Amino acid sequence: MTALFRFVGALALGLMVTFAGQAQTPFAPAIVVNDDVVTFYDLEQRRALYRAFGMPPAILEDQVVADLTDEALMRQESRRIGILVGERELQAGYNAFAQQRGLSGDQLTAQLTRAGIDPGTLRDQIEAQLGWRDAMQARFTSRARPNERDIEEAMMIDATGISREVLLAEIAIPYAERGEARTNELITQIYEDVRNGGDFRAAAREFSRAQTARNGGEIGWVATGDLPGPMRAEIDLIDAGGVTRPIPITRGVSLLAVLDERRVPTRNSGLVTISYVRATFPIDGGEAAARTAATEARRRLDGCADMTARADEFGPGSGRFGPEPLSSVNPALFSVLATAQLGQISQPVRIGDSISLIALCSRDVSLDADQRQQVQNQIFADRVSAFADGYLQELRRDAVIDVR
């Protein structure tokens, strides 16, 4: 009996040790997404990767869980429709990621390895995203492909729009001076200080190693459309007076502050040719009287042809103009003409020393083959991205996700 008791006790103890060891092993399940497992090792490696890329600690943990969960769903959908990312495609994606950071694929691998990060965690992420991209293109191509009217309308919207320019300042800190880990800690501390009222310009003078440091980090006015993708994504999230989260740059990390902003006509306005007619009402007798006269005239007038025929009845500067590039139009008229509907007469608007009525008579977009292809590709990519975001939400909603 005693021997049997000892045997059973030893067996129970062995099982307890086995189960405890399983609970603590890095390769135990941390998240189960449908039937796919994300291990504790996967979580820790992704945390390390995001820390190395300068992700703020406040959002890091939630982002790691969300991304690994989404990537599991992406792989499942890719497998379901038979999408397989080949080694050559995966390596090309990995090399492209490295090049964005000013490195070769081998150099990136070496950096990750020195930081104690398994390069496989980045490759896994890239593989999931490439498979998802191919799967979503296969699923939504017929719905996302634009026709000629879509292309012209998109180009018209772009060409007649207003773009955002920002007055930027930067803090750029290379990894070489303090090492990657300490540099990321420093930039995160600066970020938190500035968000809580700290002086960005003073921090730039002290810590930045860019040539702009002596000027408080000020870069100058920059169109947001000219910024690299990661920077533009951050800048688009903030208004004047705001500061971005840390942004990885070549061999370092940076912060950007938006000191001021302004809206300007898009440079693509030169691709649009317009003609218009204008009727002016001088304000010599007072602005109210001129506005009343313009309002009454607007009720009587019937579009471009009528305004053109009766131009002599109105004040100086009245008449028909164009065809001419939209980009050459007086800036005071641009905002009216850029948003005008063909043939419709505008509401009375003050421009200079008169009240004006303006009607857009013609508008044409001139695109060569390369420009048209670029617009078509952008529309297609934007639509696939939008469809994919919605579909991923559906997959999340229907999935069985167990976070342990």
| pLDDT tens column, 166-222 | 999 999 998 888 888 889 999 999 999 999 999 999 999 999 988 899 889 999 998
My answer on whether 361 and 276 are in the same domain is yes
What angle in degrees, to the nearest 10, is found between the helix axes of 40-52 and 180-195?
A: 70
Written as six digits, the tokens of 325 are 């590039």
Say yes or no to pLDDT of 400 above 50. yes
* Residue 224 shares a structural domain with residue 301: no
pLDDT-derived band at 267 (thresholds 50, 70, 90) equals: low
Say if 61 falls within a structural domain.
Answer: no
What span, in angstroms and rounded, lies between the C-alpha atoms of 206 and 51?
Answer: 23
Give the closest residue to 351 by CA, choosing from 268, 276, 271: 276
pLDDT for 7: 36
The stretch 273-277 carries a mean pLDDT of 89
Report the pLDDT value the prediction gives residue 357, as an integer from 0 to 100. 92
Query: What are the distances in angstroms from CA 93 to CA 70, 143, 182, 235?
Result: 19, 26, 29, 25
In a domain, 298, yes or no: yes
Give me the number of domains the chain comprises.
Answer: 2
Axis-axis angle for helices 57-80, 119-144 (nearest 10): 60
Tell whether 218 is covered by a domain: yes
Is 223 in the same domain as 246? yes
Task: Work out the average pLDDT over 275-293.
Answer: 91
Q: Are 219 and 191 contained in the same domain?
A: yes
Give the pLDDT confidence score for residue 8 in this predicted structure: 38
Other Cβ atoms closer than 10 A to 168: 23
Instruction: Judge if 318 and 247 occupy the same domain.
Output: no
Q: In 10 A of CB 24, how many CB atoms?
A: 9
Geometric angle at alpha carbon 242, from 238 and 248, rounded to 5°: 75
Are residue 187 and residue 217 in the same domain, yes or no?
yes
Quote the domain boundaries for residue 197: 162-265
Is the peptide bond preceding residue 323 cis, with omega within 30 degrees of 0? yes
Q: Where are the alpha helices (DSSP H) in 224-281?
A: 229-235
Answer yes or no: is 148 within a domain.
no
How sure is the predictor about 157, in pLDDT bands with cuts at 50, 70 and 90?
Answer: low
Residue 84 covered by a domain:
no
Examine the fold and report which residue of 246, 265, 284 is the final residue of a domain before the chain moves on.
265
Is 196 within the bounds of a domain?
yes
Give the span between the Cα atoms of 171 and 145, in whole angstroms: 41
Domain stop point among 209, 244, 265: 265
Contact 298, 345 (CB under 8 A): yes
- CB neighbours of 398 closer than 8 A, spacing ≥ 6? none
Distance of alpha carbon 14 from alpha carbon 8, whole angstroms: 10
Domain final residue pick, 235, 265, 295: 265
Compare 382 and 90 and report the one with higher pLDDT: 90
Query: Residue 161 — very low, low, confident or very high, per pLDDT cuts 50/70/90?
Result: low
3-class DSSP assignment, residue 241:
coil
Angle between helices 119-144 and 40-52 (to 10 degrees): 90
Say yes or no: 241 and 198 in one domain. Answer: yes
Mean pLDDT of the chain, nearest integer:
85
Q: pLDDT tens digits, residue range 30-56? A: 999 998 999 999 999 999 998 888 777
Query: Does the pLDDT of residue 252 top 90, yes or no?
Result: no
Query: Do 258 and 274 fall within a single domain?
Result: no
Give the domain CATH number at 212: 3.10.50.40
Q: How many CA atoms lie within 13 A of 169 on its CB side?
A: 23
Do the beta carbons of residue 51 and residue 63 sit within 8 Å? no
* Span 354-375, pLDDT tens digits: 999 999 998 877 777 787 788 8
pLDDT band for position 14 (cuts 50, 70, 90): very low
Q: Please check whether residue 154 is in contact with residue 379, taking contact to mean a CB–CB distance below 8 angstroms.
A: yes
> Does 315 reside within a domain?
yes
Shared-domain flag, residues 291 and 225:
no
Residue 157 lies in a domain: no
Does residue 271 have a pLDDT over 80?
A: no
| Same domain flag for 322 and 295 | yes
The H or E element spanning position 355 is: strand 354-365
List strands edge to edge, sheet with 354-365: 319-325, 272-282, 354-365, 349-351
β 162-174/349-351 pair status:
unpaired
- 300-333: b (≥16 Cβ within 10 Å) or e: ebeebeebbebbeebbebbebbbeeebbebeeeb
Dump the DSSP string for 92-114. HHHHHHHHHTT--HHHHHHHHHH
Q: How much of the chain exceeds pLDDT 70, in percent?
A: 90
Contact between 243 and 169 under an 8 Å Cβ cutoff? The reply is no
User: Could you tell me the two tokens for 42?
Assistant: 């996967």
- Torsions phi, psi of 38, nearest 5? -110, 120
| Residues 196 and 219 occupy one common structural domain | yes
Q: Report the distance separating Cα 183 and Cα 253, nearest Å.
A: 8
State whether 186 and 238 are in the same domain: yes
